[in-house]
Amino acid sequence: MKLTGECFCGEIKYEINGSLHDARSCHCSRCRKAFNSQASAYALVEPEEFKWLSGESLLTSYIGAHGFGLQFCSKCGSTLCGIYNDAIHGVTLGCVNGDPKIELGRHIYVGSKASWEIMPQGENQYQQDAPENT
């Protein structure tokens, strides 16, 4: 499967030659700030299947203490992907074009969700991360 994605202003574009997996929504306070939303919507990608098509020079990175970070457009601010030790780890689902043929499989860190957020019923929810990922 070939997927494409881009930032809000369209200056940065990427391509994925493969499929996304392990889609999740994180509701922790850090993701709310990083994604400027009630939660993140994020899926993993194999680094070798990801390629920047244009605008890579406009990327700005934020790297946290444990090597995980985010890359976003320095022009429009769209958060495009997550990185770990300088390799693409996953993509934000809001920047993927078209139907990525994936659904959110779990909502994590709902124990620290925003007080104003109402969680969807019938979804896999974890107070912290899912047990298989802790």
**Ranges in the chain, pLDDT < 50:** 134
Task: Say what the pLDDT of residue 38 is.
Answer: 87
Task: Say what the pLDDT of residue 91 is.
Answer: 97
Task: Say what the pLDDT of residue 131 is.
Answer: 59
Task: Say what the pLDDT of residue 134 is.
Answer: 45
Task: Say what the pLDDT of residue 29 is.
Answer: 85
DSSP strand E in 31-126: where? 42-44, 50-54, 59-63, 68-73, 79-84, 87-92, 106-108
pTM for the predicted model, two decimal places = 0.85
Task: Say what the pLDDT of residue 124 is.
Answer: 79
Domains and CATH numbers, the chain: 2-25+36-106 (2.170.150.70)
Task: Say what the pLDDT of residue 78 is.
Answer: 94
Task: Say what the pLDDT of residue 120 is.
Answer: 82
Task: Say what the pLDDT of residue 132 is.
Answer: 57
